[in-house]
Structures are given as structure tokens and as C-alpha cells.
Amino acid sequence: MIRKLLHRVFSRKPSASVSTPGTSGAELRIIPRKQHAIPRHHISPCASKVTSELQQAGYSAFVVGGAVRDLLLGLEPKDYDVATNATPEDVRAVFRRSRIIGRRFRLVHVMCGSETVEVSTFRGDSSTDEDNGITANKHADEHGRLLRDNVFGSQKEDAVRRDFTVNALFYDPAKEEIWDYLNGYDDIKAKRLRIIGDPLQRYREDPVRMLRAVRLAAKLGMQIDEATAAPIGDLAPLLRNVPPSRLFDEMLKFLLSGYALASVVDLRARGLHHGLLPMLDVILEQPLGERFITLALKNTDERVRQEKPVSPGFLFAALLWHEVLAQWNIRQASGEKPMLALQQAMDDVLAVQDKELAIPRRYDVIMQEIWAMQLRFLGRGGRRPFRLLEHPRFRAAYDFMLLRCESGEIDPELGQWWEAFQRADAGEREAMLLKDEVPKKRRKRRSRREPVAGDGASPDSSAADAVIS
């Protein structure tokens, strides 16, 4: 008990050290149950258990961030975060099923059944010079990006270091109170997304906040406040300094949010897609590519909203397809054979993408299979269509090909044929085969080169030319 008391006295720093411009006067407002509309039973049992057991152990503990925001908006939170004045070791001592994670900033994962709640200790502003309370950006790179964010602080400081006012609300499930230091509650009611503090400084500290602004506004149906939106276009290049793995995580959240299309349209309007997916830029400027990506994102959004599984590999394959197509065309024009040209085009695109965005290598295989099968859809004679149907990735590649038809890139007749072929019985399938598609002479020659296409299904170059012209 004495240890806890000492900890509480010494772990807090004076709130005067909060120096984010425009937030130093942050006043706590407590919103009681009769004013807000969060029913207690909507909180996940695990989050209630974690806050209540921490409180019983003498600490303060609140549900915080996205979960409170979503509950106030009548949405179901994806995950729950708890903020407390207990240190990770204290939290670990309270919960048997818990583990400390993270090296730079340590968090605790508390498990109840299949649910996990993330518990973090109130954090302060690590850009502040601790001796004199002014912003010194001691722990920032030359662009102002924060490299350190691991100083314990008070609850108020923890609110101020968050990104948007609507993400800085604390909820106490026991008292059913919302603690609001930054008028986040009013912003939620007004559907206004407002960054905490000085927008320029906050985006420089962490450029990913620009992406979060666009994603959250689309997801929550909020307007980005004018001052919050204004610097986004100009500061977009700062995203290049963000480690690729972090950019990738954010991009995945973005694409699988269920609001990807609205977000991409918004990103584009703000000039932000330049830093997000460098190649998206090139693609969106092509009339065919834009229609294709729009359809791919629309389908993905529908699937996410219907809670159907979505394959990120499929989506990446779609985002990069027109880049592959362009390379493929160039290589064929210089005389390379279709399958070889396609393989090289895929390798080129993946190599650039790997450097720029670090799409993990585990997605390469699915992208390559989907792309390579596009050529194989042209082989509609002999046993080739039968072999293709058995490919484990047939369904994904077929859906992909339908998108190409729908976008106007290829003749819809190809999609219709494959649709009919799948539905047909054995006899009908035989009758559907296009016997003349590949000239005999070439077919003979190709059989010696079969390994290139995986199962030897490469159609001849005239057929391949037809699909990409």
C-alpha cells in the first residue's frame, strides 16, 4: 500500500509541463450518466473487469480512446484500451492472465476468455523539456517527428498527447462517468474531428496522424475541422519519413476499414495519396486504373461491412495491377513472350513496392498467383480450363478477372464464358472448349516450355495481346 502511495505521488509530474499550444488551459469536465447515452452493459465484460479490479487495487482506471468514441456514436468498438496510473508492473501484479508487451513503451495485455484488453499507463508529453516546461523536441528527428513517447504522466497529460479530441475521452464504467479535458464530447456531438494542440506541430511529431484524420473522418462520418485539415496537403511529404512497417499497418487499417473508397477519394482531394501508396498515384491518373481500383475498393468495403472475410493480398494485387499491366505491355512491345514478360513485370513491380511500402513478403505469393492466372484465363482449349478450375486460388483470380471485365479493361465475354463454364456439367464443358484458340504449331512448341507457366498453360502471344491491348 505504501509502495502504491509513493508511486502515485512520484509518478505524476506537474500538469504545468503540458505545453502543447492551445491545450494548456484544458479543464476537466465530468459528464454524468444522465447526460451521455452509454449503457453500462454495452461495455465489454473484460474492459469492465479490468477497470474495476484496478480500481479495487487502489488505482484509477478508465476505458479510453476509440472505444469511448465509438460507444458514444452508437458503434461497436473493435477493441478496448484501458488507461491507468498503475505502472505495467503494478498491472501485471493485479492480473494473473496478463503479459507485458512492447519495448519502447511497455503496455500490458490482460486476457479474459478470448478477449484481450490493452492497458497502458498514463503517458506525458515527451517533447517537453522536463526542466523548464517548454517544448524543446529533445526526442524528435530533424523534421520534428517524435522518436520517444514513453514518459509516464498524469491523466490530463495522457489526454493531451492523444491525437484528436474525440479520441481523448475517458470512461469510468463503475461510476458511469465520462471525463473530458478537451471538449471531445461536444466535438462528438457536432461530428467534428479536431486535432489536439497545434496542427502543424502535431503532424510533424507524427505524420501518420494525417492519415488517421482522413480515415477516421470517413469512418465516423465526421467533418475535419478547418484548422485540422488545412496543413494536410502541404505536410504530406513528411509521411516519407515514417518507418514503412508503420505505414503499412496504417494502410491496412485504412483499406480494411469498410470506408476505403470514401477515404481514398478524400486522400486524393487532399493530395495525400502521394505519400501513402506512391504507385496509387500513377494508377489513379489512368482512366482504366481508376475505374478498376474504385470497383475493387467498393467490393472490399461491401464485404467488410457485411463482415465477410477480405484478403489483403487480393486488394494489393488490385491496387498494383495497372502498374503490372503497364510494365507487361512495355516488355511485350519489346518482343518478350507473354508469360515471361508478365513474370518480369510482376517482379519489377513487387521490387519497387517492397522498397516503398514494405508490403510483407507473405503477400507476394497471392499477388503473383492472381496476376499470373490472368493470362491463363485466356487458355480455353484442351485440358487447361479444367486444370485452372482446380487451382486453390481460382476463386480469387476469377473475381479479379471479373473486376477487369467490369472496369472495361477486357471484353466481358471472357468473364461470361468462365461463369458459364463453372456452372456447366461435364458434357456442356466439353462443348464450350475453344479448340482453335491456340494455333497447333505454336502449341507444340509451347509444350516444351511448359514450366514457365506453372502448369504449362500459357496461351500464345496473339491471345495475350488481345487481352492487354
Q: Counting contacts by CB under 6 A, is residue 109 touching ligand ATP?
A: no
CA distance to 147, 218, 280, per residue, from 143 (Å): 11, 28, 25
Distances (CA, A) of 194 to 65, 155, 215, 441: 14, 20, 13, 68
User: 126 vs 458, which CB is nearer to ligand ATP?
Assistant: 126
Q: Which residue is nearest to ligand ATP (CB)?
A: 66
Q: Which does residue 42 bind out of ligand ATP, Mg ion, none, counting CB within 5 to 8 angstroms by kind?
A: none
CB 126 within 8 A of CB 150: yes
Strands (E), 107-188: 107-112, 115-121, 169-172, 177-180
Helix (H) or strand (E) holding 81: strand 81-84
Q: Looking up cell 511529431, which residue turns up?
A: 205
Active site residue 79: yes
Q: Which of 156, 192, 209, 446 binds ligand ATP (CB under 6 A)?
A: 209
Q: From the CB of 7, what's the least distance to Mg ion, in Å?
A: 27
**Which is closer to ligand ATP, CB of 242 or CB of 330?**
242
Exactly one of 125, 157, 206, 323 binds ligand ATP (CB under 6 A); that residue is 206
By CB under 6 A, is residue 162 in contact with ligand ATP? yes
Contact flag: residue 219 with Mg ion (CB under 5 A): no
Amino acid type, 445: R
Q: Which long-range contacts (CB under 8 A, 24 or more apart) does 228-233 make?
A: 228/164, 228/193, 228/194, 228/195, 228/199, 229/270, 230/199, 231/199, 231/200, 231/203, 232/203, 232/270, 232/271, 232/272, 233/270, 233/271, 233/272
How would you classify residue 39: left for phi > 0, otherwise alpha for psi between -120 and 50, otherwise beta? Answer: beta
Other C-beta atoms closer than 10 Å to the C-beta of 305 total 11
Which residues have C-beta within 8 Å of that of residue 310, sequence separation ≥ 6? 256, 300, 303, 304
Residues of this chain, 49-78, that bind ligand ATP according to CB under 6 A: 65-66, 78
User: For the window 40-79, what string marks contact with Mg ion as x by the rule CB under 5 A?
Assistant: --------------------------x------------x
Closer of 255 and 350 to ligand ATP (Cβ): 255
**Contact call for residue 40 and ligand ATP (CB under 6 A):** no
| Catalytic choice (70, 125, 158, 163) | 163
Which single residue brings its beta carbon nearest to Mg ion?
A: 66
Nearer to ligand ATP, 20 or 353 (CB): 20
Please name which of 382, 395, 401 lies closest in space to residue 456, comparing C-alpha atoms: 382
Residue 184 touching ligand ATP (CB under 6 A)? no
Catalytic residue from among 79, 149, 348, 354: 79
In the list 51, 127, 167, 201, the residue contacting ligand ATP (rule: CB under 6 A) is: 167
250 binds ligand ATP (CB under 6 A): no
Determine, following the binding rule CB under 6 A, whether residue 160 of this chain makes contact with ligand ATP: no
Q: How far apart are CA 67 and CA 79, in angstroms?
A: 7
Of residues 206 and 225, the one with the C-beta less far from ligand ATP:
206
Binding positions for ligand ATP, rule: CB under 6 A: 65-66, 78, 81, 162-163, 167-168, 206, 208-209, 212, 253
List residues with catalytic annotation. Answer: 79, 81, 163
Binding positions for Mg ion, rule: CB under 5 A: 66, 79
